[in-house]
Structure 1
Amino acid sequence: MLPMFKNALTITIGVLITGNLYAQQNPVLPGYYADPEGIKYGNTYWIFPTYSAKYNEQVFMDAFSSEDLKTWTKHPRIIDTSAVKWAKRAMWAPAVLQKDKKYYVFFGANDVHQGEVGGIGVAVANKPQGPYKDLLGKPLIQDIINGAQPIDQFVFKDKDGSYYMYYGGWGHCNIVKLKKDFTGIEPLPGGTLYKEITPDKYVEGPYMFIRNGKYYFMWSEGGWTGPDYKVAYAIADSPFGPFKRLNTILEQDPSIATGAGHHSVIHSAKDDKYYIVYHRRPLNKKSAHERVVCIDEMKFDSEGHILPVKMTGRATVDF
């Protein structure tokens, strides 16, 4: 395992000019991490990633915070399997949010298959850096519905205050509506508990945001262990779709990195900039677990379509 850094780590990834981020020195975090969830709590930027290792070693999560997107503080083991008794291995793909002065992290655990204990859990804390405690003492979603393995969840707050969760591996994606206290799910507007909204070529890693009244649904395609991992998107008028695949916006660059995917998005409201936070595999790394977290700007054309993202930063690393 990598050493646990408890002090602030200075990593120059660019400069801030009138609030703009210029991500010139990817990767932004030291060590192997993946599936990053980027978010801003108040004036502080946070990244909550998966610790990228073999499943039996991937039993905790770290978090990273920054006031200026240059100096990052590592918060080790914000949660681990000792706090989630039903989780034995493979804690991964966090989704985070703040609600009613509490902080929540949704996570996958145990790489569940039908008949096994595991799936999507939820934990709560009083601070972003935790420590987080298991909210339910059991998975929030464990069963395989519509063919979707219960992993890779993203929690989305709609304009009316409703909370929806998009999730699913194995090429299927479901949407569910969360209860206000996140202790379970409740019927969707159509009356069902689960609705499949899988777009063409979807594999895993769903993400949703609203821009100019439109719903941007994003996901990862390809295999996460290989070079062809990528991100695509759709635009709809509703959080329920339909989601028609429009284009690939992030993929491998033979001069920079392979396996670019499983992302999130940070919106800088001050200057209306969007940044994609994602993982990729440096050119000198071949193991499935040798993934690093990066940030690049995500731009739109005049019609609101997402333009292909140009990866920046180092092509190799020496971790």
Structure 2
Amino acid sequence: MIRKFLLFGITALLLLNCGPKESKQEEVTEVLDEEQSPFVHKPLVTHLYTADPSAHVFNGKIYIYPSHDIESEVLEDDMGSHFDMKDYHVFSMDNPVAEVIDHGAVIKLEDIPWAGRQLWAPDAAQKDGKYYLYFPAKDKNDIFRIGVAVADSPTGPFKAQPEPIKGSFSMDPAVYEDEDGSYYLYFGGIWGGQLQWFEDQKLVEGRKGPTDGIPAHEEKALMPFVAKLSNNMLEFSEKPREVLLLDKNGEPIKAGDNEKRFFEASWVHKHNGKYYFSYSTGDTHFIAYGIGDNPYGPFTYQGNILNPVQGWTNHHSIVNFEGKWYLFYHDTELSGKTPLRNIKMTELIHNADGTIQTIDPMKK
């Protein structure tokens, strides 16, 4: 979630001089006509800026749990300080072509006792009539932890637990419910996500910058983590485990292999008995994926689900609705600015051999 965004030679189409008006929830900008637009898919939400869409089907409807981008005076840096989000909204759709409903802010930064700043990409889960919102935030010491908030409805309001999940670190939580009723929480992200500041899941004193602790190019890349959740959904039932991502030779992906290595944005879905772990490659701007036989991995790299979008970051989710799969992602069509993004969706297709057809978000 850092650095400058890719321009793709279309900046002139995108500088539309119309920032958000958060208090009135007015349209932030108009979407370009289809013939003018270089984008393949249209924004789902245009009255505010949204990113990192985590989509789920609860009670026969699609619910989307994104982060909420806002204008910020914080200067842009490689730790993502300019992504200074302060609340979460929930959106719903009766089906993939239905109107998107904004259910408003369901929890705010000031409602979270332990949080200091930066409500980054969240996710959600349902169990026994309760709904759980998992979110990263920097604590009072400016270290990312993962918190949980609970609600009686998928649209909130959510009440945060007084402390973050014990043993949690880094960011980008993603929850996967397996067919046996087990829930797994995946998490992690390098650079602004601070994963490189930890060794053996303990914070290393003195590491401060985005590359402090990043392995050498020829060494194994930093990997995401996973832990099974407890029955109450509020804590880990085990010590988090490393999720191993392998190349097609069966070797761990190397830190210098920027087009394949994990950067952030974990997601897991299951198709035809196989587990798919997908993620963002960060500075090379792909949504890549691997396939495995177990929710813990290892996962063998297969290729890309999504080619680069306009904007530096990307973050996605994958959901099945009535037998079809859909990819949710974000770009910067509405603003042309790195920290002011908008969410989108499109159908995702698995090939007969289990691989996924790569999606182009920009017209060629």
TM-score, length of structure 2 as denominator length: 0.70
Aligned amino acid, residue 29 of structure 1: V
Q: Is the 8 A contact 1:24 1:312 kept in 2?
A: yes
Partner of 1:235: 291
Matched-pair contact (CA < 8 Å) for 1:118–1:142? no
Task: Note closer, same or farther for the CA distance 1:121–1:284 as it changes in structure 2 (3 Å cut).
Answer: closer
- Identity over aligned residues, as a percent? 29
Q: Secondary structure at the match of 2:299?
A: coil
Partner of 2:156: 130
Shift of 1:212: 0.7
309, 317, 327: which one aligns with 1:264: 317
Greater strand fraction, Structure 1 or Structure 2: 1
What is the Cα-based RMSD across aligned positions, in Å?
3.0
- Superposition map of 1:152-191 within 5 A: 152-170=172-190, 171-187=222-238
Taking the TM superposition and a 5 Å limit, the aligned residue runs for 1:64-213 are 64-68=91-95, 69-110=97-138, 116=142, 118-135=144-161, 137-141=162-166, 144=169, 150-170=170-190, 171-187=222-238, 193-199=239-245, 200=253, 201-213=261-273
CA distance in 1, matches of 2:298, 2:84: 39
Q: Deviations over 1:1-44 (max 9, x none)?
A: 5335679xxx99xxxxxxxxxx9751111132111011122132
- Structure 2 residue aligned with 1:302: 352
Report SS of the residue matched to 1:82: helix
CA distance in structure 2 between the partners assigned to 1:197 and 1:25 by the alignment: 32
Structure 1 pair 41–284 and aligned structure 2 pair: CA distance change class (3 A): closer
- Aligned 8 A contact 2:49 2:68 in 1: yes
Counterpart among 47, 65, 72 of residue 48 in structure 1: 65
Give the AA of the match of 1:275.
Y
Query: What is the Cα deviation at residue 87 of structure 1?
Result: 1.2
Q: Higher RCO, 1 or 2 (CA under 8 Å, sep at least 6)?
A: 2
Contact 2:305/2:356 (CA < 8 Å) preserved in 1?
Answer: yes
SS in 2 for 1:277: strand
Q: Is the 8 A contact 1:62 1:74 kept in 2?
A: yes
Q: CA deviation at 1:63?
A: 1.2
Structure whose residues are more often helix by fraction: 2
Q: Note the residue ranges of structure 1 that are not aligned, 5 or more in a row.
A: 13-22, 145-149, 188-192
Counterpart contact for 1:262–1:278, Cα < 8 Å: yes
Superposed CA offset, 1:84-128 (max 9, x none): 111121112111111111111000012x69x65541000001111
Larger Rg: 2
**Using a 3 Å threshold, how does the CA distance of structure 1 residues 49 and 143 change in structure 2: closer, same or farther?**
closer
In structure 2, distance between residues paired with 1:250 and 1:46: 22
Please tell me whether residue 28 in structure 1 is matched to residue 44 in structure 2: yes
> Deviation at 1:159?
2.1
> Which segments of 5 or more consecutive residues in structure 2 lack a partner in the other structure?
1-19, 32-38, 73-80, 191-221, 246-252, 254-260
Shift of 1:265: 0.9
**In structure 2, what is the Cα distance between the partners aligned to 1:98 and 1:241?**
23
Deviations 1:217-270 (A, max 9, x none): 1111123xxxx42200011111111112110121226xxx3446210012023x
Rounded Cα–Cα distance in structure 1 between residues aligned with 2:314 and 2:223: 17
Q: 2:75 corresponds to which residue? A: none
Structure 1 residue 151: Cα displacement: 0.3
Q: TM-score, normalised by structure 1?
A: 0.79
Q: What letter is aligned with 1:78?
A: V
Structure 1 position 59 matched with structure 2 position 75: no
- The separation in 2 between residues aligned to 1:4 and 1:83, in whole angstroms, is 18
- Three-state SS of the structure 2 residue aligned to 1:129 is coil
After TM superposition, what 4+ stretches of structure 1 lie above 6 angstroms from structure 2? none
- How many correspondences in the alignment? 281
Which residue is 2:36 aligned to? none
